[in-house]
Structure 1
Amino acid sequence: MVAVILTEKPSVAKNIADALKIKGKQDGYYEGNGYCITWAFGHLLQLYDAKDYEPSMKSWKMEKFPFIPDSFRYKVKSSPKNRDFKDAGAEKQLKTIYRLMKRPDVDTIISACDYDREGQIIGDTIIYNLKVNKPVFRLLLNEWTPDEVLKGLDSLKSNEELRPLQDAGISRQWSDWVIGINLTSVATLKYQKGKGQALNIGRVLLPTLKIIYDRDQEIKNFKPENYYKLNATFQTSNNESYDAVYQEDKEEKFKDPTHLEKIQQALAGKKGQVLDKQVEHKKEYPPYLFNLSNLQGTITSKYKGWTSDKVLKVAQSLYEKKFITYPRTASVVLEESLVGRAAKVLEGLKQGHPFANEINFSKLKRVFDNSKVESHSAIIPTYLKPKSLTSDEEIVYSAIKNRFIAQFMPIAEYEETKITTGVDGVPGFFHSQGKVQLIEGWKKVEKIESKDTILPFVEMNEMVAIEKHELTSHVTKPPKHHTEKTLLRVMETCGKNFKEEDNEEMLVSILSGFSIGTPATRAETIKKLKDVGYITTQNKNLLCTELGEKLVETFPIKDLFDLEFTGRIEKTLADIEKRKYRKDDFLKVIFNFTVDSVLKIKADQEVTIHEVETAKKSVEVLGKCPLCGHAVIEGQKGFGCSNWKNGCKFVIWKNDKFLASMKKKPTKTMVKSLLKNGVAQVKGLTSKNGNKFDANLRYVKNPDNEYFSWKMEFN
């Protein structure tokens, strides 16, 4: 007899076929050695649209909402080019899957989709919509290496045991459909003028938008305050110097400079004395292994041009190529059952490593701890070492590999010294702090360079000369805009802003499922916020658009902006997985919430959040393209050649980094002048020091390619 294995993607089907040494590839599946291995392309089925249940729902009318179907049904997913038609590839593959499952010689069906909420329902919707009366089993793997595939096929689970995971997946899918369909439709009818892209309302989308909005408002309403510090440099008897800051009652920032001026006067002609010296030996452990959010945060903050969505795609590619374990994980430690496998991986990575003699495997509690693993262990390399990677894959793989190796390197150790220096007749003290790295340990692998101050050796009660002292003025700075790294952290911990990545309380929060979205969906949420026009990016910063601000300030369903509300929903979904909450009870709560929200929007005041411009703008020609002679026009993101479809690369981006570094954006006037005269006079540029200046700018083609660079000239 034959078993049909259904995977989530073709690449995974090939991995299983390779492990089973099956060469026979047919149209849409592999066959051999008692197995047919076929695949989906993610979701082949999708929920019915509202118009599929009720044809009159094809056009949105306020009186038709709220709309909640009596039972939810599935159809072949729509074509991305035209939602009114089925996706031809999906329909063809479904027919192949169903033909295989119905074959009389097939007695077993195995779902090998990803071991998570989404993977469970991808497999289950396909299998159970067929209504084939054959036993269904589950292949649960964290990596697709041959050893693990063969081991997994020997220890299959009945799919019935995964019912709670299916319930959680269905609950997420149905609740998001109900909230999205109803509130997006009603909000668009109520608050949008003109036809265009709908006002997108989502359970995870809005609280994420609110996080960015709140930070923008903090910055906008921030009132800078002046404060002053008194710095002094002392010289020891060995002619070594150290810097110190004046403190009084543990405070070193003073609003009134006159007090510090009096202290300065009191220093004249005096010496300092070392009143206290504390030397502490400290250990510094490596950061925990990567989960998806930490990996995305690390890569997006370290490398230009990376988004969390891109990190996930590259990590997914490495996973499907069998080089890393499952990336969509919230855990930062490994299951204790993986001790042997981790040791094997480390042994392989040690070969030829520059620090091989310092890498030693050990069953560490910081690395192996069942109590801190939620569904999937942290991301680590597999025992298969890649022979060639793309430059993007190399960046992500190296980060994961180095973080894994770092766990088994010596712990970094340093000496922290604190010196308290007093001056006779002065009420406060001068404080100095510095470090000496004793053992670099794991920091070598992570390439972390110390920027700490090193203090000279001093004796207790030693008299030191006052070399110089200076009163400095400072201004309090506003909080920084969110980046993808900081936003992912807030989403992961549902607003609990832990400073330390290794904070135990943070781990408990993540493990309980109390978060915004899941590791798999957070990158998608950030991307969607950009796509629907609620946020924009400036360098690495995320900022609310005018539309995003209006939505937060006007949309009346405040629960959807509340981190606690969204966190509780995500927590309940996690509890459904653990059999602590029933699917039907959860859906009842969501449906009631949706009905109440629709009625509240209907009764809300008449206000416009979004006005869609319907009149077609006449296109203004700004000049001739210096590359091909076609017209240069203004687009949404830049001023570019109208011949771009045929490959012309001339463009001046509106967020041009060179101009942004001087707090300028290109204008139509500037572009016209550049195209006509080859030069534009630009006023009010800002230097790094904050000074304003004027300059002539040229946009000059590079001699060896079709790209342009800025040249600055001064009169």
Structure 2
Amino acid sequence: MKLVIAEKPSVAQTIAKVIGASKRADGYLEGSGYIVSWCIGHLISLANPEMYDEKYKVWSFDNLPVIPDSWKFRILSSTEKQFLILKKLMLSDDVDEIICATDAGREGECIFRYVYSCTGCRKPFRRLWISSMEDKIIREGFDNLRNSNDYDNLYSAGFARAKADWLVGMNASRLFSVRYGSPLHIGRVSTPTLAMIVKRDDDIQNFVSRKYFTVIIDCRTFKAESERIDDEIKAKSIADMCNGKNAVAAGIKKEIKTVRPPELFDITSLQREANRLYGYTAKQTLDYTQSLYESKLVTYPRTDSRYVTDGMKDTLEEAVRLAAGILDFETENIDIQHCINNKKVSDHHAIIVTPDIKNKDTAELPEGEKNILMLIASKIVLAALEPYKYENIKVTIECENNLFYASGKSVLNYGWKSAETKFQENSEKTLPEISENQVFEMISSEKAEHWTAPPKRYTEDTLLSAMETAGNSDYDNPETEKKGLGTPATRAATIEGLVAHGLAQRKGKQIFATEKGINLINCCPEEVKSPKLTSDWEMQLQQIEHGEYSAEIFINEIISFIEELCKKYKTVDDNTFKSESKETGSCPNCGKPVENGKFGYYCTGKCGMNIAKVYGRELTETQIKKLLDGKEISYTSNGRKTVVLPKTMRNEYNGKTYIQWQTKKD
């Protein structure tokens, strides 16, 4: 008998139906020489520190670092019954071969191998490696089962990632929790991600908007604008000077540009677009796509590729026809060549629809799944159309020795853009026909006022993008393969973890750091929250997966990092985090000492008084000292003078009470 082990019951049932295992039993199906059973996601995880030694139940500096000599596993109590069923089947004399049919990726490989290891099984096993749950693909997969040794590097990378997460999380969380007397949750990927959110929130809070001006001239059929002018008097002078005068086209620059069709979806780009259009979280999009995959409507979702291989040309052409069909879109001049790139396909190709979609009434799908399916179909159609070509036109207008600029496009071939306008609103800026030295008589002009805008808060879309590219700017070689924070399969879980632990919160589409999250990042040294370091580790894990780097060396480097971290921060005095902390006065709210630490001036009584800022504006050291001495200070913003008094006031905002310096407008 051959034992097939899938990742979850629903997948096991699909496989069992294809290979003829229809007889149901407790925890498995049987028939046609096969037994098909399943895991329920992760049945097994790495053991907690106290399972190595009782002393680790106590969190203390004396018990750090925690470095296992050999790694132990623990069976999750919620799924122990299914583990025992698998163990009995794997060790049964009736089973002579095992087939690993968990998801074809790093995590899927670990799910199976952990079970294989913990049961003590030594029987040979082969790998079912497929990118679609269609009956045809499953049959082809069973006809071409792969040698288990082909995926040893994949498992090594997955196991190394799990150990690295354990080492960093267990040790750093204990180290800084003990150090600050408060439970802190620190993760190898989650903490650098949280640090990016906190930094963005800080950048917004501390942003001081500045006024600037431009002069806009109206040439009747189009408008042109000057470059930025910081001096309002100068801007008004130029506007007055040009009003009612003639202007001339001093220069025209035309350039033909070609925009290739968009790439197919990988999971991250799909998550980003679904968040942008529908507000779905990364996890929601992954769940919807996984459900479509298990329903045989799309290919494997957890992919980091946006291309297919040259051997899939016929498959992609059929996918384009099917996608166009469900969108009721007529396709002409199909060109899929730019969707093919063998070098950019690793374990799995881009997400595409499967032939089974023609047998499905998509109107019956739940709304979330339907929206995701339509996004995937739309992208397939767009990716297979001709390039978009246009003539980019830049015009320089001169009036009274002042220069103004206008730009526009003249479309030569809409190509894939013609289809995009069917799915999205189109807004192309055009210019009328303009010739060099053309005169525009009696133009009107006006001064326009603008304000610099702060950075935008992260949405799930932009946070995923930031995670994907984190640390990339630190690499000089443009050919370096960059991996960012986490993987396409884990980024959604990282974001959900931050929310679940109360370190970040969602408000509409936006993601904020909570007070708890801000405090955590303020406590963490750079080593723990550096995206560059975590990105380096992610690259090394990828190299392990490809057989280009040693998992043992990788783990030894992580251990060295942890040992150095514990050595450095469990022996430091408080000044390590307070940057020559010294008392500079008394808090006007509670009377406790005010000190200047690494993160600025703060009340040692932690009463909530914001010493260093007024309505998000950072106060200078001189200003703070004057206030603490009982003197008024003032500043000017947006042309208005604000006086800050050496008194406190309470401010209610978003259900929270903030204590800050009292102000009045002058």
- TM interval, short-chain normalised: 0.7 to 0.9
Note the C-alpha offset of 1:496: 4.0
2:44 equivalent in structure 1: 45
**Does residue 19 of structure 2 align to residue 34 of structure 1?**
no
Distance 1:273 1:40, change over 3 A: same
Counterpart position of 2:198? 213
Partner of 1:116: 105
> Would you say 1:568 and 2:536 are equivalent positions?
yes
Q: Take 1:568 and 1:475, find their aligned partners in 2: how far apart are those partners?
A: 39
8 Å Cα contact 1:192-1:199 kept in structure 2? no
Q: CA deviation at 1:253?
A: 0.1
Q: Does 2:268 align with 1:293? A: yes
Q: Distance in 1 between matches of 2:74 and 2:102?
A: 19
**Are the equivalent residues in 2 in contact too, given 1:190–1:606 (CA < 8 A)?**
no
Would you say the 8 A contact 1:350–1:359 is kept in 2? no
1:137 — aligned with what?
126
Distance, in Å, in 2 between the alignment partners of 1:352 and 1:190 is 59
User: 2:442 pairs with 430, 448, 466, which one?
Assistant: 466
Task: String of CA shifts for 1:87-115, please: whole Å, max 9, x gaps.
Answer: 2xx22212222222223232211101112
Confirm whether residue 307 of structure 1 aligns to residue 281 of structure 2. yes
Q: Contact conserved, 2:323 with 2:353, CA < 8 A, in 1?
A: no
1:8-49 deviations in Å (ceiling 9; x for gaps) = 111111221222243222221121222111110111112222
Inter-partner Cα distance in structure 2 for 1:527 and 1:353: 32
Contact residue 319 and residue 380 of structure 2 kept, 8 A? no
**Once the 2 structures are TM-superposed, how far is the Cα of residue 464 of structure 1 from its aligned partner?**
1.6
Deviation at 1:137, TM superposition (A): 0.6
Contact 1:19 1:145 in 2 (8 A): no
Cα offset, 1:495, TM superposition? 4.1
Q: Does 1:401 align with 2:401?
A: no
For residue 419 of structure 1, report the CA deviation from its aligned partner.
2.5
Partner of 1:338: 312
Question: 2:575 and 2:81 mapped to 1: Cα distance?
Answer: 47
3-state DSSP of counterpart to 2:37: strand
Matched letter for residue 217 of structure 2:
A
Number of the residue aligned with 1:520:
489
3-state SS in 1 of match to 2:573: coil
| 1:163-182 equivalences in 2 (<5 Å) | 163-182=152-171
TM-aligned CA distance change 1:520 to 1:667, over 3 Å: closer
AA at the equivalent of 1:574: Q
Counterparts of 1:666 and 1:571, CA distance in 2: 41
Q: CA deviation at 1:352?
A: 6.6
Partner of 1:106, secondary structure, is coil
CA contact (8 A) 1:227 1:474 kept: yes
The change in CA–CA distance for 1:175 and 1:351 in structure 2 (over 3 A counts) is closer
How many angstroms does 1:327 deviate by?
1.2
> Match of 1:30, as an amino acid?
L
CA distance in 2, matches of 1:572, 1:347: 40
- Counterpart Cα distance in 1 of 2:551 and 2:199: 33
Determine which of 317, 338, 341 is the counterpart of 2:291: 317
Once the two structures are superposed, residues 102-129 of structure 1 have per-residue CA deviations (whole angstroms, 9 ceiling, x without a partner) of: 2323221110111211111111111232
1: distance between equivalents of 2:34 and 2:65?
47
Specify the code of the residue in structure 2 equivalent to 1:214. Answer: K
Unaligned 5+ runs, structure 2: 578-650, 658-666
**Partner residue of 1:370 out of 342, 345, 360:** 342
Question: Residue 363 of structure 1: CA displacement?
Answer: 4.1
- Other structure's SS at 2:230 match: coil
Out of 239, 242, 246, which is 1:267 matched to? 242
Say if 1:572 and 1:586, in contact at 8 Å, map to a contact too. Answer: yes
Decide whether aligned partners of structure 1 residues 453 and 514 sit closer, same or farther in structure 2, where only a CA change above 3 A counts. Answer: closer
* Larger displacement relative to structure 2 (585-594 or 428-437): 428-437
Q: 1:415 to 1:448 in 2, by over 3 A?
A: farther
8 Å CA contact retained: 2:22, 2:29:
yes
Task: Find the aligned partners of 2:482 and 2:36 in 1 and give their Cα distance.
Answer: 34
When residues 513 and 76 of structure 1 are mapped into structure 2, their CA distance, relative to the original with a 3 A threshold, is: farther
In structure 1, the partner of 2:225 is 245
Aligned counterpart for 1:544 among listed residues 510, 513, 524: 513
Contact 2:472 2:484 in 1 (8 A): no
Asked if the contact 1:137–1:156 (Cα under 8 Å) also holds between the matched residues in 2, the reply is: yes
Aligned equivalent of 2:59: 60
CA shift at 1:408, angstroms?
1.6
Deviation at 1:131, TM superposition (A): 2.5
Instruction: Give the alignment partner of residue 419 of structure 1, picking from 372, 395, 398.
Output: 395
Deviation at 1:60, TM superposition (A): 2.6
Displacement after TM superposition at 1:568 (Å)? 0.8
Deviations 1:38-79, CA, capped at 9 Å, x for gaps: 1101111122222222123233333222122211111211xx
Supply the distance in 2 between the matched residues of 1:668 and 1:76 (Cα, whole angstroms): 43
CA 1:513–1:31: 2 relative to 1, 3 Å: farther
**Separation in structure 2 between the aligned mates of residue 121 and residue 490 of structure 1, nearest angstrom:** 27
**Structure-2-length-normalised TM-score:** 0.82
| 2:428 counterpart of 1:452 | yes
Residue aligning to 1:147 = 136
Q: How does 1:70-109 map to 2 (within 5 A)?
A: 70-77=69-76, 86-87=77-78, 90-109=79-98
- AA aligned opposite 1:222: F
Opposite residue 172 of structure 2, the aligned amino acid is L
Paired residue type of 2:528: L
Question: Structure 2: which amino acid aligns with 1:393?
Answer: E
Pairing 1:225-236 to 2, within 5 Å after superposition:
225-235=210-220
1:454–1:363 CA distance, 2 compared to 1 (3 A): closer
